[in-house]
Amino acid sequence: MTLILTDTKDAKSSSDEDQRNMDPNDLNPTSLSPRKLFPHLPMRDYDQPEDSVQGHAHDPPPYSYSESNPQSTSQAELSPKAKVPESNAVNASQAVNLTGPLHILGKVNSSSPITLKNGIQVDGKVNSSSFILLENDVIVGGKVDSSSKVTLRDNVQVIGKVNASAEKIDANGAVTLDGGDRGIFIGSKVSSNGQIDIKGWVEIAGDMKAGGSVKIRSYGPGKTPKLGGKINASGQITIEGDVIANTLYLSSSLKLNGQLHVLGDFEVKGNVVLQKGGQLIVDGKRTIHGSIKEE
C-alpha cells in the first residue's frame, strides 16, 4: 500500500459544505473554459473564444483532448472544400438511425431509440425516451438526455450534460462511456439512476451522480480517465488502473486497484480499500471519514 500526501492530517469530521459543492457556474461549459475546469491537467488548445463552440462541421471541435494521446485529432474535422450534408432538427416517434457525415441544424428528439454514428454534428440536444448510442466522431452542442441507457463510444464530444434515468440496469450499466482510441470529452455533468461505467480515455469536467455503483477503468498510457468534480453514488466506487482527478469528493466507499492521483483536495465519506499495489496520491488535503485498509 502506498500513500503519497502533501497534507497527511486525517479529518474525521465533515469539512465545510462549500468545499464539497461546486460553484453552479462550473456546470456551465460556456462560462468556464476546460483550462479553468482542469487547471492542473495537461491539456492543449482549450483556450479559445466562446463563440467557437457553435462552429460548423468543418471547424475544429470546441474542445481538443490532452496531449497524452497523439491520436487526438478528430476524423470529424473536414476540409473546408468538403460539402457536408445538412438537415433540419429531427423530431420523430420512431427509431432514429443516422450515419454521417451529417450536420443537424438543431436538436434530435425521439420517443424511440436514437443511434448517431460516423461524423455527425448536432447543434442542439439529443433527447430520447429510449436508449441513445453515440459512436465514432459525434459532436453534440447541447445535452444528452435519455429515459433509458446512454452509451458514448470513440471520439464523442458532449458540450452539455449527460443524463439517463434508466430504472433497469444491464451488464453495461445505465451510462457507458467508452473512450476508444480517440477519447470522449463531456463539458458538464453525468447523471444516472443506474450505474455508471467509464472505460479508457474519458474526460468529465463536471460532477457524476449514480443511483448504483460507479466503475472507472484505465486502458494504459494515453487512455487515462480525467475527472473534474465530485462523485455521488449509492453503490461502491471502483477504480482500476491509473486515474487523474482535479479535486475529488466521493460519497461512498472507494475500492482502488491501480493509481489514483488527486491534484487538489480529496474527501471520501466511506472506507478506502487498497488492493495489492494500489496507490493513492493526494497533492492537497486528504479527508477520509472511514478507514484505509489493504486487501
Can you tell me the distance from the alpha carbon of 169 to that of 44, in angstroms, rounded to the nearest whole number?
Answer: 36
In a domain, 49, yes or no: no
Can you tell me the distance from the alpha carbon of 79 to that of 118, in angstroms, rounded to the nearest whole number?
Answer: 16
Q: Give the pLDDT of residue 209.
A: 87
In a domain, 164, yes or no: yes
In a domain, 248, yes or no: no
In a domain, 159, yes or no: yes
Put simply, whether the predicted model's pTM sits higher than 0.75 gets the answer no
Considering only 11-25, 100-114, 133-147, 271-285, which range has the smallest mean pLDDT?
A: 11-25
Considering only 87-96, 161-170, 210-219, 226-235, which range has the smallest mean pLDDT?
A: 161-170
In a domain, 247, yes or no: no
In a domain, 194, yes or no: yes
In a domain, 52, yes or no: no
In a domain, 50, yes or no: no
What is the separation of C-alpha 147 from the centre of its chain, rounded to a whole number of angstroms?
Answer: 19
Domain total of the chain = 1
Residue 210 belongs to domain spanning: 2-16+23-44+58-240+254-294
Q: Transcribe 214-234 into DSSP letters.
A: EEEE--STT---EE-SEEEES
In this prediction, residue 178 has a pLDDT band, given cuts at 50, 70 and 90, of confident
Phi, psi (degrees; rounded to nearest 5) at 263: -75, -20
